[in-house]
Amino acid sequence: MTRLFTLLACAGSLLLGACGNESSLPVATGKASVRAINAIEASPDIVFLIEERSLDQISYKSMSSLHLYDDLDYTFNFDIRYAGDSENTRIASQAISFVADQDYTLLISGTLTNASIAVWEAALRTFDSDATVFQANFAHASSLLGTVDYYFAAPGIDPVMGAAVATLSFGEAAPPADFEAGDYVMIITTAGDAGDVLYTSIQTNFGTASVITILPFDGDADDNAPVVVRAIAAVGTAVTMASTDHAATVQFLHASIDLGIADIYDDEMLTSQVIANHAFKELSADVEISAIENMYRYTPAGGTSMVTVEGTLNAFPGNRYRFIALGQSGGFATDAMVLDHRPIDSTVKILLYQASYNYDFLNLYAVDADTTIEDKIPFFIGLATGAEVSTARLVPGIYDIYVTEFGETEVLAGPVRIDVAFGDVLDMVIFDTVDPVQLEIVLFP
């Protein structure tokens, strides 16, 4: 009994001693904010994590939403998933010791195999209820631009020396600055030369009490401009401040076997011909679009005034579009889509369009070369007529492509042999043929 009391007393002394010492764990005194920007052109959506907890998935030319955390030490990680892998691959990490009331932005750039991170720090901004301004954070994320000057002013104001709002090189950010809400144009010039204009944006309206990050990125395969300026809000939503020197373009795809060879006009009087003798399965070259809203009218080739089908394309400057005529006699239609040809270095991308009207729903198989589809799972299931599907899940290899009706195994088209590697993009359309029980798979360059 004496020994038991002695042990309890010793244990009590140890507990009292432990309570009397200050904890060695860090104590938060406030909050800081963090977000990340993806500037890797050939990347899939990048998973942005704090330690091992996922925060967002960030596509190219985009920013995550804003996240608040205690002013402690953290490691931020960036992961991707290669096609065929069951686990993510970590491509970059960055440790940051948060300071209360600060805002941290991480720019990830480079390549998937050699990524780098720049960290920008500024005071966390709040606004009064009667604020009339917004905060602009100017940064630089275009590898195609050297050191440049930024001019940010109302429309119609030309750049003059001494009026630049920032002078930046790749990976840099300027101190935040306030601007009155309203319409603004972004002009980029060679550093120190206001007359050497490299980029002029369309005008964009900015509201009050918002924090906007404004920065150029390298244009990708779906941009007509080599450089694209984006204005991204703290919540992650973005608008493109498109170049005034690079209009939108459109390709015309003839996908109706019943429509016949057609001429295409963009005016009601049929005097402005855009495409002549447009034949079934033909994909035109890019045609520049000057208007935002475009009405295209199809007539039988050869000057007849009978409009067989018409449709509208609402275009945004700098983008690339595809305008498609499809359907059957008595039910012709048009469709419009933004192209998605940006290569991704972690996968093979398929851009697939289902243009058949003989079959409402189709399956597409991608099987190892010289094998059958027996007991195989379709790569795409239940593709509806007019449905465009872009995927990023095919691993490199040699495949045979087949098409069947949904729920059936009888081959309607194929095999079409493909030999693909990471970064390849397949532009594929399924067409009707003169044989109503057969289809054709066409791959466009």
Cα–Cα distance for residue pair 11/368, rounded to 1 Å: 69
Lowest mean pLDDT among 10-24, 141-155, 314-328: 10-24
In tens, the pLDDT along 317-356 reads: 999 999 999 999 989 999 999 989 999 999 999 999 999 9
In tens, the pLDDT along 102-130 reads: 999 999 999 999 999 999 999 999 999 99
Is 177 a residue whose pLDDT tops 90?
Answer: yes
Is 16 a residue whose pLDDT tops 90?
Answer: no
CATH topology assigned to domain 29-124 = Immunoglobulin-like (2.60.40)
Q: Confidence band (pLDDT; 50, 70, 90) for 14?
A: very low
Q: Can you give the pTM of this predicted structure?
A: 0.89
Percentage of the residues of the chain whose pLDDT score is greater than 90? 89
Q: What is the pLDDT of residue 203?
A: 96
Kindly state the DSSP code that residue 407 receives in the 8-state scheme.
T
What are the extents of the domains in the chain?
A: 29-124, 126-246, 248-337, 343-444
The residue among 7 and 386 whose pLDDT is bigger is 386
Joined together, the tokens standing for residue 411 give 């081959």
Q: Could you check whether 29-124 and 343-444 share the same CATH topology?
A: yes
**For the chain, first and last CA: distance in Å?**
91
What number does CATH give the domain 248-337?
2.60.40
62: which residues sit within 8 A by CB, 6+ positions away?
A: 37, 38, 230, 232, 236, 238
Q: Confidence band (pLDDT; 50, 70, 90) for 1?
A: very low
Is 9 a residue whose pLDDT tops 70?
Answer: no
Identify each DSSP E strand in 164-308 by its residue range. 166-168, 177-180, 182-190, 197-200, 204-206, 211-218, 227-233, 238-241, 248-254, 262-265, 273-278, 287-289, 293-300
Cα–Cα distance for residue pair 345/253, rounded to 1 Å: 28
Per-residue burial over 158-173, b if 16 or more Cβ lie within 10 Å, else e, is: ebeeeebbbbbebbbb
Q: What is the pLDDT of residue 24?
A: 67
Q: Confidence band (pLDDT; 50, 70, 90) for 23?
A: low
Cα–Cα distance for residue pair 369/427, rounded to 1 Å: 19
Q: What is the pLDDT of residue 245?
A: 94
Rg over alpha carbons for the chain, rounded to the nearest Å, is 28
Percentage of the residues of the chain whose pLDDT score is greater than 70? 95
CATH topology assigned to domain 343-444 = Immunoglobulin-like (2.60.40)
Q: What is the pLDDT of residue 20?
A: 46
Q: Examine residue 175 and say whether the peptide bond preceding it is cis (omega within 30 degrees of 0).
A: no
Q: What is the pLDDT of residue 330?
A: 84
Q: What is the pLDDT of residue 7?
A: 40
Q: What is the pLDDT of residue 415?
A: 97
Is 198 a residue whose pLDDT tops 90?
Answer: yes
In tens, the pLDDT along 215-247 reads: 999 999 999 999 999 999 988 899 999 999 999
161: which residues sit within 8 A by CB, 6+ positions away?
A: 192, 194
Supply angle C-alpha 326, 332, 334, rounded to 5: 55
Element containing residue 394 per DSSP (H, E)? strand 388-394
Q: Confidence band (pLDDT; 50, 70, 90) for 290?
A: confident
Is 4 a residue whose pLDDT tops 50?
Answer: no
